[in-house]
Chains A and B, each alone.
Chain A
Amino acid sequence: MSVGQEATVLDRPAGTKLIADVHLQHEIEQFLYAEAALLDEHRYSDWLKLFTDDCRYWMPVRQTRLARQMAEEFTKPGEIAFFDDDKANLGRRVHKLESPYAWGESPRPRTKHMYSNVRILALDGDELTVNCSFIFYRCALEADTDWFVGRREDVLRRVDGDLKIFKRSIYLDQTVIQAKNMNQFF
């Protein structure tokens, strides 16, 4: 069943619509949890396969702004970002993390990627836009503890029946980064 068909189903009377919504919601949540497992098991090459070849992985820089200037809180695409990667650059980061010389991964930090507040924001043909809140907890060495909290907005694409990540936008809640690095994935 393609996303396009789902969209048609959503136009049906309330009861049928709700069941279709639940199915789609469940599928997306399971997709996100499976992704979290790959990251927490440090299977970065497998994680990379979840992305389309023309993907974009983006985390803008956020600043603390005056209440009336919140529209300028985040940098825009094409400006400075923490990540603004195509698949080739994302692949370089994966290669680096999987290198035996990646000292930050030796020993591997204990991590948990947790997602909640999963909402489907838009359905457009084979693409769907999904919002979630995340907590990424990282505990390294003896007592190095980092909490990354934020919102993610993914454009997922149905490719041969499977969901793939086409665009990922990551909006971190910190404006001053507190962790010693952000060498892992969100």
Chain B
Amino acid sequence: MATAFKPSVERSFRERVDSEHGLVDRAIFTDDEVYRLELDRVFARAWLFMCHDSQIPNGGDFFQTFMGEEKVIVTRTKQGAVEVLLNACRHRGAAVCRAHSGNAASFMCAYHGWTYDLSGNLIGVPGLNELYAKSLDRKAWGLKKPAQVASYRGFIFATFDAAAPPLEQFLGAPGLAMIDKLADYGDIEVIPGVIRHRLKANWKIGMENDQDYYHVGITHASLFDAWGSSRSEVNKQYWDKNEGQTVYGEYGHIMDTMPGHYHTSIFPHMSLLTDLLQVVIVRHPKGPREMEMVYFSFVDRNASDEDKQKVIQRNIMRLGPSGMVEQDDGENWEFCTDGAGSQALRDMPFNYQMGLGDGVTLADGGAGYPVREGPRTTEEYARWRLQCWAEWMDAESWSDLEQNHSRLTVA
């Protein structure tokens, strides 16, 4: 019955994410065409977290990361400025930097030797006189840079889109408050040890898990066994006493305010876990069915050694592929990604109906922006994020998105 399977690309993304009824087209997690468009309309458009100021304190320091699938190098110039450079030689495209981080005066492509300074200027071309008759305009062949780079409280962001609004406008009051929560721990710095972990799962499925308090008692049951608490106690903690405020920022930012959690997502792919932990996690897309998770752990540089060790131990015991919490998660996301790609189930949407219609929106939760008062174990987070994602995907441009995106409406 091949005719039963309608090509879902004919529908708008806002139709494919039916947040009103809690139904989501599963193909958005695995479809190749959706993914190619996502790289353009989400990752080439949004402000993306690069790294923290403390990781590149000195002239020549660099940190390598990604914008979408593009390799980028974040550098500190000798004058102290921050630059973001595409790690691709302008001659034949090969990477000019081969390290995750370090200190360098310049970056040389190991193919023909084109060499770039910390600002991406092409400063060396072997054979410039002999082979190019001095006619190569080096000024025109520097490393490509994103359209805009900006930072907020030491958190460096970049966007490929010249039309993107300023960073602080993109973050909005809720997004700024989410970053403040981590920055307010003190004079914060990233502790050495950035963990990088690949999973064969769609990046959006990973993001969704950050505010999923439905899975905790089951997925992590063996953890609570080891810690000596029962599953019913764990579920009770999340399901019975979870009334509180949740924050839904424009463009898809989310915060739960759950004590011990404060799981925050800056759209599209940055998470900050801040109440118990002090960590930022970024989930870079590597195709529709793979992602690279990168972990940055923060401490207040003025904290006592003892207090720093407590933070470090909490992070080590919980986070990353070996963390006692997160070691349980990856397999679920891989299974879900497999299930999302099912041809036979293509017309059967995923169910996102938990907590539909629950809660009341308050015009001002006390911090100058609207909050929602209600249960914190809910799929409202996922509905909001995917609804916003669909608006990014339907928008033709930043100005289109600015005019056509959801805002929290007060009843």
Q: Taking beta carbons and an 8 Å cutoff, which residues of A are in contact with B?
A: 59-61, 63-66, 69, 72, 75-76, 78-84, 89, 92-93, 95-97, 99-104, 175-183
Contacts and interface: CB of A to CB of B under 8 A. Distances in A.
Given A63-B101, A80-B191, A80-B195, 14 more contacts: A69-B99, A80-B192, A80-B194, A80-B295, A82-B195, A93-B324, A95-B226, A96-B324, A99-B221, A101-B222, A103-B331, A175-B100, A181-B326, A181-B330
A61 B192 CA distance: 9
5 tightest Cβ-Cβ pairs between the two chains A and B: A80-B193, A101-B221, A99-B222, A99-B225, A96-B226
Contacts of A177: 195-198, 320-321
Contacts of A182: 321-322, 327
A76 B191 CA distance: 11
A182 B195 CA distance: 13
B292 A176 contact: yes
Given A79-B191, A104-B328, A95 B100 contact: no
Given A84-B313, A96-B225, A63 B194 contact: yes
Given A80-B192, A80-B312, A104 B98 contact: no
B331 A176 contact: no
Nearest to B308: A78
Interface string B80-113: 0000000000000000001111111000000000
Contacts of B317: 89, 92
B334 A64 contact: no
Contacts of B194: 61, 63, 80
Nearest to A93: B324
A64 B100 contact: yes
Given A82-B195, A93-B324, A63 B227 contact: no
Nearest to A92: B226
A82 B100 contact: no
18 contacts: A60-B193, A64-B98, A72-B102, A75-B192, A79-B191, A80-B191, A80-B316, A89-B317, A92-B227, A97-B222, A99-B221, A101-B221, A176-B196, A177-B197, A177-B321, A180-B330, A182-B327, A183-B327
B321 A180 contact: yes
Contacts of A82: 195, 316, 320-322
A79 B331 contact: no
Contact of B192 (A76, A104, A179): A76
A178 to B, nearest CB: 5
Contact of B193 (A81, A93, A97, A104): A81
A66 B101 CA distance: 8
Given A80-B316, A180-B331, A61 B322 contact: no
B338 to A, nearest CB: 11
Interface residues of B, number: 44
Contact of B324 (A63, A69, A75, A92): A92
B169 interface: no
A175 B223 CA distance: 26
A180 B200 contact: yes
Contacts of A75: 192-193
B327 A104 contact: yes
A146 to B, nearest CB: 10
A136 to B, nearest CB: 13
Contacts of A63: 99-101, 194
Interface in B148-206: 191-200
A79 B327 CA distance: 20
B297 interface: yes
Given A92-B226, A96-B226, A59 B322 contact: yes
A30 to B, nearest CB: 28
Contacts of B225: 95-96, 99-101
A87 to B, nearest CB: 14
B315 interface: yes
Contacts of B327: 104, 181-183
B198 A96 contact: no
Given A65-B99, A84-B316, A181 B324 contact: no
B356 to A, nearest CB: 29
A178 B198 contact: yes
B219 interface: yes
Residue from A63, A64, A93, A99 having most chain B Cβ neighbours under 10 A: A63
A95 B227 CA distance: 9
B199 A180 contact: yes
B309 interface: yes
A183 B322 contact: yes
Residue from A72, A80, A89, A97 having most chain B Cβ neighbours under 10 A: A80
Contacts of A101: 221-222, 225, 231
A89 B318 CA distance: 11
B226 to A, nearest CB: 4
